[in-house]
Amino acid sequence: MSGSADAADSVSSADPVPLAVPAPAPAPEVPAARTVEGDDPLDRAVWRLRSRGCWDDAAALLEPHSARHAPAALRRAALLVERCMFTTTGWAEAEDALRAAEALAGDDDERGGAACERGHLAYAATVLGVRDRADEARSALGRAAALLAPTAAGRPLLDFRRGLMAEHVADSPDAARAAYRRAHAGATAQGDSLLLSFTWRHLAGLALRDGELAEARHGFAESLRIREELGFLVGTAPALAALADAAPEDDADRLRAEAARLFRLMGGVPTWLADHLSTTTAAT
């Protein structure tokens, strides 16, 4: 799941920028919290709700399974962490769910997954301006790196989140790019399409920052394509707005108008996108 809090998401994330002019830093995108699930009816129901921004309802479906089952408890916690990223609300509920998942974790993969979510929640609070928890985020993500083997299923997501920290907290684009590339390779190997939509998005953001418009357009377009194919509706408006940042003026206006329409349809979620849309609209 998540997937995701654009720096907020950083899912957690301005007009097209000429090649000679440094691009403004994109608003953080919501990071993916988990992959799209398989054919299990519960998994499909959770995905349908999550993809439409109904995190409370999705978490409620997992609650009966999460009292004694560590993977279900971690999935539930990740959903509620993702809700914080998209809505900047629900912090106490996410903390409670995360503590429950940490208590149930019984092996290194489970403990590493819980530490990854702990770091992501602290990162979200930091980049969204709720409270500076950057040290906690670094510590938790470092602990996750020590627990998760290089081939562990959760490693690509961890690499992505370490990239978010490098980009949006440490302001180290080179370190962020390396982490995103590791996450991209891992997501490709695992067939994790949703995470790929985030790695494409953030690699493209760094390319835009460097004035590489063609590379940026390709990455943003891939991110949008994947989200549309998956039906990740809550993440589609940010993807449209990101592509508009690198598009020619006529296309950018159309993309931003569609992003604004979807943003209203989703009830103003993700909340951090409002400032991005109002800023870019005013600049056109």
* DSSP state letters, 186-248: HHHHHT-HHHHHHHHHHHHHHHHHTT-HHHHHHHHHHHHHHHHHHT-GGGHHHHHHHHHHHS-
How far is 231 from 5, CA to CA, in rounded Å? 18
pLDDT at 277: 85
How far is 228 from 160, CA to CA, in rounded Å? 21
CA distances to 58, 128, 202, 216, 219 from 86, rounded to whole Å, are: 15, 10, 17, 24, 22
pLDDT at 275: 85
Q: From first to last of its 284 residues, what are the pLDDT tens digits of the chain?
A: 434 334 444 333 322 222 222 333 334 454 434 445 567 899 999 999 999 999 999 999 999 999 999 999 999 999 999 999 999 999 999 999 999 999 999 999 999 999 999 999 999 999 999 999 999 999 999 999 999 999 999 999 999 999 999 999 999 999 999 999 999 999 999 999 999 999 999 999 999 999 999 999 999 999 999 999 999 999 999 999 999 999 999 899 999 999 999 999 999 999 999 988 876 543 33
267: left (phi over 0), alpha (psi -120 to 50) or beta: left
pLDDT at 137: 98
pLDDT at 112: 98
pLDDT at 38: 60
pLDDT at 30: 44
Nearest to 5 by CA among 75, 91, 73, 87: 87
pLDDT at 207: 98
Cβ burial, residue 64 (10 Å; 0-12/13-18/19+): exposed
Nearest to 4 by CA among 254, 282, 149, 202: 202
Question: Any long-range contacts for 67-71 (C-beta under 8 Å, 24+ apart)?
Answer: 68/104, 69/104, 70/101, 70/104, 70/105, 70/106, 70/110, 71/110
**Record: fold of 41-283:** 1.25.40
pLDDT at 279: 60
152: left (phi over 0), alpha (psi -120 to 50) or beta: beta
Spatial contact of 282 and 274, defined as CB atoms under 8 Å apart: no
How far is 115 from 87, CA to CA, in rounded Å? 22
pLDDT at 35: 46
pLDDT at 276: 81
How far is 74 from 100, CA to CA, in rounded Å? 8
Q: Which residues is 234 bridged to in the sheet?
A: none
Q: Is the pTM of this model over 0.75?
A: yes
Distance of CA 30 to the CA centre of its chain: 3
88: left (phi over 0), alpha (psi -120 to 50) or beta: left
Domain ranges of the chain: 41-283
Distance of CA 216 to the CA centre of its chain: 18
Nearest to 130 by CA among 98, 170, 83, 89: 89
Main-chain dihedrals φ then ψ at residue 2, nearest 5 degrees: 160, -140
